[in-house]
Structures are given as structure tokens and as C-alpha cells.
Amino acid sequence: MSGSLSSVDPQIADLIKAEERRQTDTVKLIASENYVSKAVLEATGTVLTNKYSEGYPGKRYYEGQQVIDQIETLAIERAKSLFGVNHANVQPYSGSPANLAIYMAFLQPGDTVMGMGLPFGGHLTHGWSVSATGKWFNPVRYGVRKDTGRVDLDEVREIALRERPKLIFCGGTAIPRTIDFPAFAEIAREVGAVLAADIAHIAGLVAGGAHPSPVGHADVISTTTHKTLRGPRGAMLMATSDEHAAALNKAVFPGLQGGPHNHTTAAIAVALGEAATEEFKAYAHQVVANARALAEELNSRGFDLVSGGTDNHLILMDLTPKGVGGKPAAQALDRAGLETNYNSVPFDTRKPFDPSGIRLGTAGVTSRGMGTDEMRQIGVWIDQVVTALAKGEDEAEHVVARVQGEVRELTSRFPAPGL
């Protein structure tokens, strides 16, 4: 019980070291990933994992909560202050359970929910067919215009007036443009629906003032605590009204969960404290500047970017004009040290497991201190790998090997936080 990881389980210890080396040597371009600080890592791996704490501060079902109550209260107060809300729940285990709590708080099975379709950039939990949210509720979906790649709010209003959903989601997982929270709020009010803003991807940008906030527009707000917010793998729910807050709290516990993960709660508190600094605000704005620089470089090299570019941290590319599928492109880029994910694009004719696009994000590279010059170089490398891949695997492997060496030289100059 007192042995170190390396002595108790050297196999796992070696694998963790290998993952640390991989994260050190590669350029992290997955839009849903980031690096956390050393302080967040330290909070995550503490004795707080030993404590069970069903309930909420001051209303627990287990004794010995004197310290835990203070930690969770601190996380709640920091979330309220950072995002300007009256209520925050920091207990959801991750983003999907947080969204499920919204359903449980405001809907009955079979009720109508409206969200962006998964192929257009929405999330599974916004009512997609393979998700419980699409099986237990009646989903209706909106998408984007084929000519612009952007949400058509007139179409959203038309669907909402016709279908009369009780819950509307705005936000998603592959949306490169600013979300118009006021317009969604107006539509929700018109049809009497609860508006839920899922800001999992952009929470750090909202906190840092680099993206408009849904506060004052959405009835409830859900977010993960990692991605651009640079916290541990967890989630939060926020609201401005007492009525909505009470419903959300009841849905999280006892509706969906037992005891919260106290080590994660502490790490969330640390990340929220970091996000309240001027340094983090500068980081959030640099994330957007980097994404725009990378998008400009890719545009100049003939890549087809969904909606033509980006307003946030995320870029979605359709590789169809390049004659390459998203999956082989992502795999070749990964071998070159450029970590991305293959992704469906709007109106994709290929299957989800072998789609036409790849998704890129600049949160992680910005955390390493990279700037717009580095983004342009990354754009050059992406072009070189994809162009070579289109000519054949043999050609691609020569380019991949060369780019991998150049990537390692770049990453050696920008240490990853916490590693």
C-alpha cells in the first residue's frame, strides 16, 4: 500500500512515461484536448479520491465532509464569479452526463428536443439517433446552409415553430463560428422552450472574453472543464434562476449520480482560479489568433474549410477536393507528429468511421506558447503530408518521416505545461 507506482506496477508506470513522451514530442491539434497545469495535475492526484460525498455542501449523507465542503464551495463560487452566473453545479462526471441532467431536469420521456444534427457539428447528446437522448426523446434537428456552412437561424425558427420543442440546444462539437446566443434565445422564448447552451468547446474562450457569453440568454449552460478551459476531465452546469438551478441539482444528484469525484472537484477549482487571471485572458485571445492564422495558411494552400474559416479555436476541413479521406489523412498526420481527428463534414457522403474531413484545434499548441508563426509552419506540414498522401503511401511515408523530425525540433522549443 505504500509502494510507488513504478515499484508496484512498472508496466503501467512505463506506459504513462511513454504517453508523456508522446505528448511532449507531438503537436496536439485535437480541438477537444489541451494541457493542464502542474497545479491541476497535482490536485487531481490527491487523497481526495479516498472520500465519498453524496449530496451537496452542508447536506451530505456521509460524515467527515468538513474539508470537502470547503473545496466544493470554493469551486462553485469560482465558477459563479468567472462566468457571471448565480448558480453552478460542479459535480457532473463529464459533459454527456451533464447534458443528460438537463433532459432529466426539464423533460419527460418522449418530449421533443431540438439540437444541431451530428453531421453538421452537433453533439451526440443533443438528440442524435444512436444516443439515449435520441432514443428516449423525440429529436428534431437543424443543420447549416450548404452554401455558407453556417447555421440558418430562419430555418431554426421555422423548425421550432413547427415542432414546438420543450428543449433547444445550441452549441456543439465541430462548430467553427460564433454561436448567436441572443438569436437562439429569442426563438426559444417564442416557442416556450428551455434554451441550453452547450459551451464545452468554447468555455475557456468565453471565460477569457474571446467569445460572447451565453449568460443572460440561455436558461441553462453546460460545459466540460477541460478543452479550452484547461481543467481536469469533468463538467459543470450553470443557471441564473433559482428554479432552473434547483431542477438541475436534483437531476445530477440523486437523479443520475452518487458521490462526486472530489479530486476532480479540487482540480476544477484550481483551473477556474487560473482562468480568472489576466494571463488566461491573453491565452484565450491567442488561441483564436492562432486558429485564424492556421486557417489562413490552409486556405492559401487550397484546403476547403467548412464555413471558410474560423471565429474560435476550431477548424473543420473537407478533404474531398484533395482526393484524400479524413481517416487516412489523420493517420498519416499522426505518424508525422501532428495529432488531429478525422471528422464528418456537413453533407458528407462518406460514412462516419471513414469521413471526408479532419478537425483541428489550437488550444493545446497555444498552451505550449506557440504563436502565429508556428501555426503557419504547421499549415505547411499539413499540406505537405496530405499532398504526398494523395500521390500514394510510398510517397507519403518519406514526407511523414521528414516532417516528424521537424515537428520534434519544434516541440523541443516549446515545453508542454505540466510535463
Give pLDDT tens digits for 302-312.
999 999 999 99
- pLDDT-derived band at 333, boundaries 50, 70, 90: very high
**pLDDT value for 394:** 85
Give me the CATH number covering residue 326.
3.90.1150.10
Residue 293 pLDDT exceeds 90:
yes
Tell which of 246, 275, 304 closes a domain.
Answer: 275
Question: Looking up cell 483541428, which residue turns up?
Answer: 360
Residues of the chain with pLDDT > 70, as a percent, come to 100
pLDDT digits (tens, 9 = 90+) for 24-39: 999 999 999 999 999 9
pLDDT digits (tens, 9 = 90+) for 368-385: 999 999 999 999 999 999
Sequential DSSP letters for 353-376: TS-SEEEEE-HHHHHTT--HHHHH
What total of structural domains would you count in the chain? 2
Cα 4 vs. chain centroid, distance in angstroms? 33
- As a whole number, mean pLDDT of residues 291-309 equals 98
Residue 1 pLDDT exceeds 90:
no
Chain length of the chain: 419
Please indicate, yes or no, whether residues 50 and 187 belong to a single structural domain of this protein.
Answer: yes
pLDDT digits (tens, 9 = 90+) for 95-119: 999 999 999 999 999 999 999 999 9
Q: Is 274 annotated as a binding residue?
A: no
Q: What type of residue is 79?
A: A
- As a whole number, mean pLDDT of residues 157-165 equals 98
Q: Side by side, which strands form the sheet with 341-343? A: 304-305, 314-318, 357-361, 341-343
- As a whole number, mean pLDDT of residues 344-356 equals 95
Please indicate, yes or no, whether residues 49 and 172 belong to a single structural domain of this protein.
Answer: yes
Q: Is 279 annotated as a binding residue?
A: no
Please indicate, yes or no, whether residues 219 and 322 belong to a single structural domain of this protein.
Answer: no
- Rounded to whole angstroms, the Cα distance separating 113 from 117 reads 12
Cα 137 vs. chain centroid, distance in angstroms? 24
Please indicate, yes or no, whether residues 241 and 320 belong to a single structural domain of this protein.
Answer: no
Q: By the 8 A CB rule, do 99 and 131 touch?
A: no
Q: Is 118 annotated as a binding residue?
A: yes
Q: Is 123 annotated as a binding residue?
A: yes
Q: Is residue 419 part of a domain?
A: no
In this prediction the pTM is 0.96
- Rounded to whole angstroms, the Cα distance separating 207 from 82 reads 6
Give me the CATH number covering residue 82.
3.40.640.10
* SS3 call for 69: helix
Q: Is 395 annotated as a binding residue?
A: no
Please indicate, yes or no, whether residues 209 and 356 belong to a single structural domain of this protein.
Answer: no
Q: Is residue 240 part of a domain?
A: yes
Which conformational region is residue 387 in: left (phi greater than 0), alpha (psi within -120 to 50 degrees), or beta? alpha
**Catalytic annotation, residues:** 52, 54, 198, 224, 227, 233
Q: What separation, in Å, do the N-terminal and C-terminal C-alpha atoms of the chain show?
A: 26
Question: Looking up cell 511523414, which residue turns up?
Answer: 400
**pLDDT value for 144:** 97
**pLDDT value for 395:** 86
- As a whole number, mean pLDDT of residues 34-57 equals 98
Q: Is residue 31 part of a domain?
A: no
State the residue range of the domain holding 315: 289-412
Please indicate, yes or no, whether residues 235 and 344 belong to a single structural domain of this protein.
Answer: no
Tell which of 275, 302, 337 closes a domain.
Answer: 275
Q: Is residue 280 part of a domain?
A: no
Q: Is residue 6 part of a domain?
A: no
Q: By the 8 A CB rule, do 90 and 268 touch?
A: yes
If you average pLDDT over every residue of the chain, what do you get?
A: 97
Whole-Å CA distances, 375 to 28, 405, 415: 12, 17, 16
- pLDDT-derived band at 23, boundaries 50, 70, 90: very high
pLDDT digits (tens, 9 = 90+) for 193-240: 999 999 999 999 999 999 999 999 999 999 999 999 999 999 999 999
Please indicate, yes or no, whether residues 264 and 395 belong to a single structural domain of this protein.
Answer: no
- As a whole number, mean pLDDT of residues 320-324 equals 97
